[in-house]
Structure 1
Amino acid sequence: MHSHIDLPAASVLHFGPYAFHLRQRLVLDGDRQLRMGGRALDILQVLVERAGRVVRKEQLIALVWPDSVVEEINLRVHIAALRRALGDGENGQRYIVNVPQCGYCFIAPVQAGSVAQVVFETLHAPQHNLPARLTSVIGRDSLVGSLVRQMPLCRLMTLTGPAGVGKSTVALRVAELLLQHYRDGIWYIDLSVIDDAPSLLDHLLRTLDTSFESLVSRHALLVLDNGERRREPCRALVERLLLAAPRLALLVTSREPLQADLETLQSVAPLAFPKASASDTVDEVMSYSAVQLLVSRARARQHDFSLREQDLPTVCDICRRLDGLPLAIELAAAQIDALALVGLQTQLDNGLRLLSHGRRTAVARLQSMNAALDWSYQDLKSSEQRVLQRLSVFKMAFTEAAALRVIDGAHLTAIIERLVAKSWLTVEQGADPVRYRMLNTIRCYVREQLESSGELSAIVHRYALYHGRHRSGSGVQLAT
């Protein structure tokens, strides 16, 4: 098979621990040659040369089998063999991901061993300012694949969800996979760091080093992160850009919708976690993305970490109590080498204090769960904060009628709806009447605020009276 770009004959492509010698058609892991067939090498070359781009299945088949009619199952078999040869997925390292209903993408960083190739890649590199991703993205293949397919047809997409659910991670992964689609590049703006900027538009133009007249003619994607922090200016900005720049697309992350014209909403849900582990095996528990993330991050810090049968109840409980929130799981995993799993489970009884040791290189709001929640709690109205604090006595799902009986406050219905819109409460799907739920991590946080307010005893007493009258069938329990 011929090379698909003008590679020098002696080029070597490096990724992970491997060196792919294109001329000799071999892959080395140090001095050891990996055993893989010719078709697998062809597939690898196509994907590596297009690292960061989604290669459609039809295109991959046409390039690897140009003179044959081949079924998709053949491609899947060779992809599986290639992944096994590379140890794809071991120790948290991913190389090839499947973008559902679309194709495959090589996601590991690739470096060329030839100066000529480095020059070639520099001249043809997509324009962007996306931050470097330090860890693999786990449990988001389906969502990312769906967004990759939607974005070329969508002018404004807003990703919503609670603190720590991974909205920014998903948005940046989608942006990485779309780098080749937008001729004039992809540009990332973190709205959380420009509170003192006189104008979001001015900041955007300075970041892109361009004028408004030049911007409106571009075919580009703008990623606006943390839109809730400056929601009204952000909405005004995107609506102006949508009107003035017909080839510009916007991908926004926000804990609540912008309510802008042409806005498409996509909720980012927590990672899946097992409800119980009494009869589950290690393989069954590892099929849940929350567990995969916990184990992957634990192995990154403690290389001999392995999940054993006796660990399953503990791991399931940890992931459940952390609500499947990626940020909470990553912060917890950082403590496993010091506390072990049982110690970590025990320390979770002390609220969110354990979840306060993130990467020192992370922005301040992502170094602890308290900081992540403080970020949007401070933006709530005092009436919203007060209702949220009082609702923390409900450990299980509750109805509006139950809330009205337990807590005082004018306009309670409207406030609850706003708290749902701002991702502080979730709505149970299919429940009749409508039932609301507060994530465990959020409940711990606002319970501390309730304790500081001096209202704890009164609210707990009112709840106990209500619970006593409706003990049979209320579906709620007292938070402890």
Structure 2
Amino acid sequence: MNSLNDLHSASVLYFGPYAFHLRQRLILDGDRQLRMGGRALDILQVLVERAGRVVRKEELIARVWPTSVVEEINLRVHIAALRRALGDGENGQRYIVNVPQCGYSFVAPVHGDNFEHVALEHLQAPQHNLPVRLTPVTGRDSVVGSMVRQLPLCRLMTVTGPAGVGKTTVALRAAELLLQHFRDGVWLVDLTVVNDATPLLDYLLHTLETDLVTLAARHSLLVLDNCEHLREACKALVERLLEAAPRLSILATSREALQASLETVQTLPPLAIPKSSALGSVEETMSYSAVQLFVSRARARQQGFTLREQDLNAVRDICRRLDGLPLAIELAAAHIDALALVGLQSQLDNCLQLLSHGRRTAVPRHQTLKAALDWSYQHLSEQEQRVLQRLSVFKTAFAIDAAMGVISCAQLPPSTLALMIDRLAQKSLLAVERGSAGLRYRMLNTTRRYAREQLERSGESNEYERRHARFVSRSRWVSGSQLAAQLVE
């Protein structure tokens, strides 16, 4: 039976009255050459070689414009030109169809010069064990497109970011778009259930039902999900695999970089939140990805939900207080039917309780925001937990000297505290802001509320609130004294 590989090995592809000569990059209708640009030919080749399959828009853009950032309108223009050149739709003959929310598919029968007619229904399916995606990925086209372009060129990429930011979602989306690139498939290995006592290589080979010799010969993409609690073991594993398997690529997700050789780090930021000045209209507000996600999930819960001008401030405030984290926004939007916008906004002071009922079909760490934060917190050392708790007294960004002035003690001297803060930043529990005044650190609102709960359970909250208040008061007095001295001068 003919397979997809036959199409790739052919030098001429035939469909309808046309012959597509791949090496000469020309299309003949009998003796007449069709005139079309190089980009259009690139798009057509990708579609024809995958005839009968849907090719995602993002993958087409990544394949045809591998070193450029282009808008989807560019793709639509070239598709329209292709349809005109081929007479698509004339006399009832269809070649390229648009699949809504997905991409494009070449639907005419195709055969090559080295085999008989291809039965489309028998084309070889891509090999993978990726889960079925139930909802579209919002606000990540740019980063996913960048990953799709980079991954075939780099051997190891690690997606990092805080709990709930969507690392797994983005990694799986990029993996979907790369299915056709890797001849021997794309394979997901979830490391959540693995502990330090489990030999990591044995677990991986058992999951993939293979051995190292076979894996070493494959042209595959390996997705290692949730590496943070096994960082050292994962670092050793990927370095061994990359050395043993020259055609293997690895895409990892972790709340901190593996710091392995050959590693490219893709930091995943929260979704974009509109500024107050960007609330002029519904259309302008809807251009921000955090709002897009909230509205799409709200519509899924409440039929007929629409964003009105009087709702803009409330929706912006909800997205801001949830830090633009996709998991938190999805969980909040699930309450829209019961609470409405005003009720949802008023409940966000207790956001961890509000977001405690999650997606039953998701893995446990993705079901609720608290579960995602628990996962991070439980894998911290006792010292790191203690520092995270005490830093929750800072409601805004702070400098390292402010942290030392408030939470340094005999058990946490300045040198140790600086190291702990750096580790928390590496683990995506603190955001780092670089400005003219130097480095400053900031805790996401959701993380701070979680850490504050832990501080209150420890019985130290009153003590560190007093320390923080004294430090702020002293800082204001010093600043006032300096200003007075400058005025006297």
Q: Name the TM tier (shorter chain).
A: 0.7 to 0.9
Matched, 1:139 2:139: yes
Give the conservation status (yes or no) of the 8 Å contact 1:275–1:320. Answer: no
Deviation of 1:234 (Å): 1.2
- Return 376-385 or 196-205, whichever deviates more: 196-205
Q: Is 2:436 the counterpart of 1:434?
A: no
Quick check: 2:356–2:369 contact (8 Å CA) kept in 1?
Answer: yes
| C-alpha distance in 1 between matches for 2:200 and 2:305 | 46
Task: Indicate whether 1:329 and 2:329 are aligned.
Answer: yes
Partner Cα distance (2:45, 2:346) in 1: 48
Q: CA RMSD in A?
A: 3.3
Deviation at 1:386, TM superposition (A): 0.7
- Quick one: structure 1 residues 422 and 142, their matched pair in 2 at CA, closer, same or farther if it must change by over 3 Å? same
Deviation for aligned residue 1:8: 12
TM-score, normalized by length of structure 1? 0.77
Question: How far does the alpha carbon of each residue in 1:282-339 deviate from its partner, in whole angstroms, 9 at most, with x for none?
Answer: 0000000000000011111112000000000000000000000000001111111111
1:473–1:7 distance in 2 versus 1, CA, 3 Å:
farther
For 1:283, the equivalent position in structure 2 comes to 283
5+ residue gaps, structure 1: 10-41, 61-70, 80-84, 89-93, 97-104, 111-116, 475-480
Is 2:102 the counterpart of 1:95? yes
Partner secondary structure for residue 398 of structure 1: coil
- Quote the residue 1:468 is aligned against: 473
Does the 8 Å contact 1:277/1:312 carry over to 2? Answer: no
Q: Assess if the C-alpha contact under 8 Å between 1:52 and 1:179 holds in 2.
A: no
Q: Which amino acid aligns with 1:460?
A: E
Question: Does residue 191 of the first structure (1) align with residue 191 of the second (2)?
Answer: yes
Using a 3 Å threshold, how does the CA distance of structure 1 residues 340 and 277 change in structure 2: closer, same or farther?
farther
The equivalent of 1:162 in structure 2 is 162
Match of 1:419 in 2: 424
2: CA distance, partners of 1:366 / 1:397? 27
Describe the SS at the equivalent of 2:434.
Answer: coil
Corresponding residue for residue 75 of structure 1: 78
In structure 2, what is the Cα distance between the partners aligned to 1:380 and 1:242?
A: 29
1:478 alignment partner in structure 2:
none
Mapping for residues 99-110 of structure 1, pairs under 5 Å: none
| Whole-angstrom CA distance in 2 between matches of 1:118 and 1:436 | 59
Q: 1:50 Cα shift? A: 3.8
With normalisation by structure 2, the TM-score equals 0.76
Q: Structure 1's 130 and 280: CA in aligned 2 closer, same or farther, altered over 3 A?
A: same
Match of 2:151 in 1: 151
Report the counterpart of residue 393 of structure 2 in structure 1: 393
Q: 3-state DSSP class of the match of 2:287?
A: coil
Deviations, residues 403-454 of structure 1 (Å, cap 9, x unaligned)? 1111122211111100000000011133422111000010010000011110
Matched, 1:182 2:182: yes
8 Å CA contact 2:47–2:55 kept in 1: the answer is: no
Q: Which residue of 1 aligns with 2:257?
A: 257
Match of 1:456 among 461, 464, 489: 461
Secondary structure in 2 matching 1:418: helix
Percent identity of the aligned residues? 61
Paired residues for 1:378-389 under 5 Å: 378-389=378-389
Displacement of 1:236 in angstroms is 1.4
Q: 2:54 aligns with which of 51, 54, 60?
A: 51
1:280 deviates by 1.7
Q: Which amino acid aligns with 1:422?
A: K
The answer on whether the counterparts of 1:334 and 1:357 sit within 8 Å (CA) in structure 2 is no
Cα distance in 1 for residues equivalent to 2:153 and 2:223: 16
Could you give the per-residue CA deviations for residues 76-104 of structure 1, whole angstroms, max 9, x where no partner exists? Answer: 7779xxxxx9895xxxxx234xxxxxxxx
Question: Which amino acid in the other structure matches residue 143 of structure 2?
Answer: L
Write the deviation string for residues 114-139 of structure 1: whole angstroms up to 9, x where unpaired: xxx99845651111001110100010
Aligned amino acid, residue 389 of structure 1: Q
Aligned-partner residue type, residue 380 of structure 1: L
Write the distance in 1 (CA, Å) between the matches of 2:365 and 2:384: 21
Count how many residue pairs are aligned between Structure 1 and Structure 2: 405
CA distance in 2, matches of 1:340, 1:472: 45
Whole-Å separation in 2 of the counterparts to 1:294 and 1:346:
16
Cα deviation for residue 49 of structure 1 reads 3.5
Q: Please give the secondary structure, in 2, of the residue aligned with 1:157.
A: strand
Is the Cα–Cα contact under 8 Å of residues 426 and 438 in structure 1 kept in the other structure? yes
Q: Secondary structure at the match of 1:189?
A: strand
CA shift digits 1:142-163 (9 cap, x unpaired): 0001010100011110111000
**Equivalent pair of 2:62/2:145 in contact (CA under 8 Å):** no
Q: 1:87 to 1:250 in 2, by over 3 A?
A: closer
Amino acid at match of 1:51: V
Amino acid across the alignment from 1:471: R
Alignment partners' CA distance in 2, 1:425 and 1:78: 49
Distance 1:307 1:118, change over 3 A: farther
Q: How does 1:287-366 map to 2 (within 5 A)?
A: 287-366=287-366
SS across alignment from 1:429? strand
Distance 1:278 1:129 in 2: 42
Contact 2:54 2:102 in 1 (8 A): no
AA matched with 1:74: V
Shift of 1:239: 1.0
SS at match of 1:341: helix
Instruction: Give the superposition deviation at 1:471.
Output: 3.0
Q: Report SS of the residue matched to 1:397.
A: coil
| Partner SS, residue 142 of structure 1 | helix
2:238–2:250 Cα contact (<8 Å) kept: yes
Structure 1: how far apart are the matches of 2:194 and 2:14? Answer: 42
Give the distance between the partners of 1:259 and 1:296, measured in 2 at CA. Answer: 37
List runs of 5+ in structure 2 lacking aligned partners: 1-5, 8-12, 17-43, 66-73, 83-96, 108-116, 480-489
Map of 2:93 onto structure 1: none
Question: What amino acid sits opposite 1:430 in the alignment?
Answer: G
Does structure 2 retain, via aligned residues, the 8 Å contact 1:187–1:221? yes
